[in-house]
Amino acid sequence: MSETAELRVGDKTLELNVIEGSEGEKAIDITKLRAQTGYITLDPGYANSGSCQSAITFIDGEEGILRYRGIPIEELSAQSNFMEVCYLLIHGKLPTETELSDYEDTIRRHTMLHEDFKQMFSALPKDAHPMAACSTMVGALSTFYPDSLDPRDPEEVEISANRLIAKLPTLAAYAYNHSIGMPFLYPQNDLDYVGNFLRMMFGNPCEDFEVDPVVRNALDLLFILHAEHEQNCSTSTTRLVGSSMVNLFGTISAAINALWGPLHGGANQSVIEMLEAIHEEGTSPRDYLERAKSGDESARLMGFGHRVYKNFDPRAKVIKKACDDVLERMGIHSPLLEIAKELEEITLKDDYFVERKLYPNVDFYSGVIYNAIGTPANMFTAMFAIGRLPGWIAQWKELHSDPAFKIGRPRQVYTGPTKTAYTPMDQR
Ligand code: ACO
């Protein structure tokens, strides 16, 4: 017999079904709660609320486990590549050799942008944040592709998904080039996905660009590690916006904005800015830590803490090692990496952080790698967005194929004034 839970509200007792996931996670199904009792649940920040059932990503925050479609992140980062991970997430299985090469060819064929995008970029101020530029331009894609906006048409969805995966690196590179006054390079489709992006970012039309394999592999790894993370802020945004039946471009534009915030993907930029400030001001990591503990919001230890991981973030482990490798192979000595390591070491022994289960998250070391490969800080979150895109698309597709699909519409507990008569202007 399947498990149930009982809830007593006033003089009513309600029997609620317990849903069990494939890894033994349990949830109390409250879908009939309001209809049967008139009550709702209240859960600010949704820390205890499941919004969907999903077969894409499994996370165990206590054990530090992360798996995409069942495959551990450690195995994917050691053996796979970003294009394969895109396929895995979006199509639900690892591709055969032919499927992967067909997929790569398709993505390559869509990397170019409509020529009018150049004018759109030139209309943006030079100091526009790349995340603002990316979300604007991704939203604008919907105006260029009215032929593929129907969320109910699988072919239109597939072509939109391919266009997004192919074009976001081009848009992100153009956002950067616009900010520094460099000409835009057309994609060069004999390069692979990451190599192409690096050339569009850092190349110029006057010289050949050679893709550094160390940099290429480091970025590919970062994209894999960022590719999906179940119902975080930007992914929940994807599901909520997508549930209104708006097209995929409009949805992803909203997700990019959600990712931009410093408490979410924007933390990677904040981490490097924090490390630079510590370095430039000559503050000791210990002193900075004390400020972070005092509750001074301007000194929050960026890159530490996670809503789900309460032991360690498995992505941070992989990145920390990659960070050491990349810097060593590039022959870079980074004082920022030294500060990061010292901060990590003292933090992990500090009662404040231990009691609150605050560990380095994915963003703590990723910024050091981005920095070492020559990426300006304001581009870090745009790189994160390129990585997270297949996860958003996979979640959007799953939402639309869910038999329990409904527009997302949370409730609230109203705490404002009770019925109040309108006061005419001359009596106020
Ligand atoms: N530095 C100092 N104190 C912290 C930090 C931190 N980085 N993170 C949490 N705390 C403290 C809080 O002040 C709170 O203390 P209190 O109980 O005394 O009030 C306690 O730890 C619990 O923190 P919450 O903010 O309630 O935890 P929540 O789960 O809501 O927030 C979050 C998680 C937003 C990630 C938070 O840890 C944070 O702001 N970290 C820094 C920003 C960051 O690195 N974000 C990236 C997350 S990963 C990602 O999105 C890709």
In this structure, which residue's CA is closest to atom 5 in ligand 1? Answer: 305
Residue to probe by mutation, ligand 1, list 275, 302, 356, most atoms within 8 Å of CB = 356
Q: Which residues of the chain have pLDDT under 50?
A: none
Contacts of residue 322, defined as CB under 8 A and 6 or more positions apart, other chains included, come to 218, 221, 222, 365, 369
Identify the CA nearest to 173 among candidates 196, 193, 197, 190: 197
Q: Ligand 1: does its nearest atom lie under 6 Å from the Cβ of 302?
A: yes
Question: CB burial class (10 A; 0-12, 13-18, 19+) of residue 82?
Answer: buried
- For 309, the token pair is 């991981």
What does the pLDDT read at residue 1? 65
Q: Ligand 1: does its nearest atom lie under 6 Å from the Cβ of 356?
A: yes
Distance CA 26, CA 307 (A): 18
In this structure, which residue's CA is closest to atom 21 in ligand 1? Answer: 356
- The CA–CA distances, whole Å, from 351 to 106, 271, 311, 354 equal 52, 22, 14, 5
b/e per residue, 232-262, with b = 16+ CB within 10 A? bbbbbbbbbbbbeeebbbbbbbbbbbbbbeb
Q: Ligand 1: does its nearest atom lie under 6 Å from the Cβ of 267?
A: yes
Identify the CA nearest to 194 among candidates 175, 221, 171, 176: 221
Residue to probe by mutation, ligand 1, list 358, 366, 383, most atoms within 8 Å of CB = 358
Q: Ligand 1: does its nearest atom lie under 6 Å from the Cβ of 292?
A: yes
Q: What are phi and psi of 400, to 5 degrees?
A: -75, -15
Q: Ligand 1: does its nearest atom lie under 6 Å from the Cβ of 296?
A: no
Residue to probe by mutation, ligand 1, list 235, 300, 315, 352, most atoms within 8 Å of CB = 300
Ligand 1: nearest atom to the Cα of 300: 1
Instruction: Kindly report, residue by residue over 316-357, the tens digit of the pLDDT.
Output: 999 988 888 888 888 888 888 889 889 999 999 999 999 999
Instruction: Kindly report, residue by residue over 56-78, the tens digit of the pLDDT.
Output: 999 999 999 999 999 999 999 99
User: HEC string of 191-247?
Assistant: CCHHHHHHHHHHCCCCCCCCCCHHHHHHHHHHHHHHCCCCCCHHHHHHHHHHCCCCC
Q: Ligand 1: does its nearest atom lie under 6 Å from the Cβ of 380?
A: no
Element (H, E) at 27: strand 26-28
This prediction has a pTM of 0.93
- What is residue 332's three-state secondary structure? coil
How far is Cα of residue 381 from the mean position of the Cα atoms in its chain?
Answer: 9
In this structure, which residue's CA is closest to atom 6 in ligand 1? Answer: 301
Question: CB burial class (10 A; 0-12, 13-18, 19+) of residue 52?
Answer: middle
Compute, in angstroms, the gap from residue 305 CA to the centroid of ligand 1.
5
Contacts of residue 365, defined as CB under 8 A and 6 or more positions apart, other chains included, come to 303, 316, 319, 320, 322, 323, 340
Element (H, E) at 426: none
Q: Which sequence positions are flagged as catalytic?
A: 306, 363
Q: Ligand 1: does its nearest atom lie under 6 Å from the Cβ of 263?
A: yes
Compute, in angstroms, the gap from residue 306 CA to the centroid of ligand 1.
6
